[in-house]
Structure 1
Amino acid sequence: MKNHILPFLLLLLVSAFQTVIAESQPQSSDKAFDWIQKVATAPRQYNYSGTFVYYADNYMESSQVTHKVDHEGEFEKIEVLDGSTRIVFRNNDEMKCYLPDSKKIYTEKRWFRKFFPDLLPQPSERIKENYNIQIKKQERVAGYDGQILMLVPKDNLRYGYKFWIHVDSGLLLKAAVMDKENIIEQFAFAQIEIDGEIDASILDPDSSFKATKNWKTINLSTVLLDEGELAWRLGKLPSGFKKVAEMKRNLVGKSLMVDHIVLSDELASVSVFIEPVIKDTSSPVPGFYSSRGAINIYVRELENNKITTVGEVPLNTIKLIGDAVRLQ
């Protein structure tokens, strides 16, 4: 018996040693960036449907997503399965959010892609300036083989990321935001079907919500502006962050249009909202405010305007960006 066991143990030892060697060998920067590009493009190329779970700060929420691609573009439905009912329908960039409990429908044109598993914009090579991209081993997620990709920040101005990527399609199966070794927030599919047939009626809001005359529709408009149209300028920004867009938006609960500046380092995004302080209302309390997961908030007042900076970056970075806002 010993003679049979010894070769088997040696085989396991050699296999384990080869695995360690393979994982420790440096991967080419180009190959790693190819994975990033696959993650960015996959959600626009494949049908998929499944249930994913969001977890952060001891809070967990599950959602069901159905996504279809055809000659007319993308169609998507995301339904939150926990708590009050929230259902989002998307036709390319046109979005409708249904809140059955309050019988309200919010419509908005999506100007920035950021819904799991569609978490990455179209990245450029600039992402390598801020992150070391490392190809790690493979792990199974929701029954699929997933390639692990680590994005390790080169400074303390941003969080790290860990992606589990479906090896065939490039679709994200799982994603975690990391503060060094600690997971701040995480999305993960518990079940998913990739590239299957999807009935178009599932993605039609009119098929789900009949006779909505008692419902109130609220149109949230966004006006994209050219560079420099806003009365605000940005001073010195944290390394790697650049302005992506500036716009005016009417937001839920706001009576006036709000100025909105968006910044990104090709992965993390930060929004700066600027609105006048309304007379006879309490002034904003400057300082930091916590949110769930990776989102941090910083508020300051300048020239009778409230400046709120919100983003998935550390507190020191959110303050540097918020303090960089200047009136032209």
Structure 2
Amino acid sequence: MPFFGSGRALLVVSAVSLFGLCYAAAPALGADVENPTNASSRTDSGATVPGVQSVFDCRALNDAPSAHTPVQWFERSIWAAHCYVYEARAVRISGPNVVSLSLSRDIRDGVERDRLHILDGPSRSLVREGGTARFQLSESGDAAAPASPEALAAHLGKLYRFQFDGQERIANRTALRLLMRPADDMRYGYHLWLDQATGLVLKRVLLDEQGRPLETYQLVELTPPELYDGEVRLRQPVSSAEPSWKPSWLPPGFVAQPLMSMVGVEGVSRQHRFYSDGLVTISLFVEPVPEDGGLRPGVHQLGASYAAVKHLEEGDAQMQVVVVGELPPEILVRVADSLEYSRKASRNGLSQDSSSRQDALEGRSSS
């Protein structure tokens, strides 16, 4: 399923997903300062930090109780993704494509700095500072705060089944295998290999509906990880006006996350919104159709991700809609087909949460 025309939005999402793949098993999860299962936006003195969504006190890992259950190990992997400094080499395998990567992770003054360098083909590097935001169960009310570990575990427990799957040696380190099976046919499963000493993700495999590998990410070399002796602060997501386009249907468990508004390379306004079930995300882009005709409507493949593209009318303007995610393509098509234009949101930016959640998947074919 090749794609044609302007693909800047797809390239942006591809880069973002690569960062998420390499630096966290599930960036939506978080943990507590007193006990490595939660995190807050407060310092040791109890003061709220402006512009900070969560604070991970990595020193808590020194006295943390041992993880025993699959969910406890999963939560520990999120702490590890934020609290360890290391360098690594890795490979990403998607179908016939193999990409070699160099990873560097540092923490300075409580701010995470990740650098990813692609070793194959043209020299390319990606840099991210400030970490990733934590999952929110709702856009408004008490649930709009970062989800507590109990609430998040209960949420994910309705969508995935966690179980141990033995041990294996990865990158010369002992790893625990963790299998996450989806509870429905609207999302993929995951196989994680977690470092027994730190909880870092050493290998991650995305599994299709039949349990076959769609994409593999694996460390092949890792310097001894060093635990950061201090607090790591995650930046507060930047919110903006409510997009005028929004889906009336999402797969069960997916919740709108803080909004972002981007300006394209040519200065064209692009609306961006993303939704998450706490583990995987759906990115939605809406922008005027480029002069070159934009992307061909239909389904396009980006490694293990798919993009559903539609052209819609907004008054006299023709808009291009791109829905991207590591989900079955028919799910993304259904989300794109459910988009509705909100004149009220367009006028004043008021939030209008979509409440439609259907349990049964309707059959659809992509063009």
Question: TM-score, normalised to structure 1's length?
Answer: 0.69
Match of 1:15 in 2: none
Percent identity of equivalent pairs:
24
Match of 2:288 in 1: 276
Partner-residue secondary structure (3-state), 1:43: helix
Matches of 1:197 and 1:225 in 2, distance apart?
32
Matches of 2:261 and 2:156 in 1, distance apart?
28
Q: Alpha-carbon deviation of 1:76?
A: 2.7
Greater Cα radius of gyration, structure 1 or 2: 1
Match of 2:75 in 1: 37
Across the aligned residues of Structure 1 and Structure 2, the Cα RMSD in angstroms comes to 2.7
The equivalent position to 1:50 in structure 2, one of 84, 88, 100, is: 88
Deviations 1:265-314 (A, max 9, x none): 11111101001235x6536532111221x200111122221111111100
The equivalent position to 1:141 in structure 2, one of 160, 165, 170, is: 170
Match of 2:124 in 1: 86
Amino acid at match of 1:45: C
| 1:248 is the counterpart of 2:261 | yes
**Tell me, which stretches of 5 or more residues in structure 2 are unaligned?**
1-67, 136-146, 229-236, 343-367
Matches of 1:177 and 1:323 in 2, distance apart?
26
Change (3 A) 1:69 1:277: closer
The equivalent position to 1:302 in structure 2, one of 297, 307, 312, is: 312
Partner-residue secondary structure (3-state), 1:47: strand
Deviations 1:19-49 (A, max 9, x none): xxxxxxxxxxx82211111121212111111
Match of 2:222 in 1: 192
Alignment of 1:114-263 (within 5 A): 124-125=152-153, 126-179=155-208, 180-196=210-226, 224-225=238-239, 229-251=242-264, 253-263=265-275
Matches of 2:187 and 2:181 in 1, distance apart?
9
Change (3 A) 1:254 1:263: farther
Matches of 2:334 and 2:191 in 1, distance apart?
25
Q: Alpha-carbon deviation of 1:152?
A: 0.3
Question: TM-score, normalised to structure 2's length?
Answer: 0.62
Number of aligned residue pairs: 249
Amino acid at match of 1:264: S
Deviations 1:220-247 (A, max 9, x none): xxx9435x72212321222221211322
Matches of 1:122 and 1:184 in 2, distance apart?
31
Higher deviation after alignment, 121-130 or 140-149: 121-130
Q: Is the 8 A contact 2:76 2:199 kept in 1?
A: yes
The equivalent position to 1:313 in structure 2, one of 321, 324, 327, is: 327
Change (3 A) 1:254 1:178: farther
Q: Is the 8 A contact 1:260 1:272 kept in 2?
A: yes
Matches of 2:148 and 2:122 in 1, distance apart?
33
Match of 2:336 in 1: 322
Amino acid at match of 1:131: Y
Matches of 2:330 and 2:273 in 1, distance apart?
19
Q: Is the 8 A contact 1:259 1:273 kept in 2?
A: yes
Change (3 A) 1:173 1:283: closer
Match of 2:296 in 1: 285
Partner-residue secondary structure (3-state), 2:101: strand
Deviations 1:128-147 (A, max 9, x none): 11111111101110111100
Matches of 1:149 and 1:266 in 2, distance apart?
17
Change (3 A) 1:248 1:197: closer
Larger RCO (CA within 8 A; separation ≥ 6): 2
Matches of 2:148 and 2:269 in 1, distance apart?
28
Change (3 A) 1:79 1:129: same
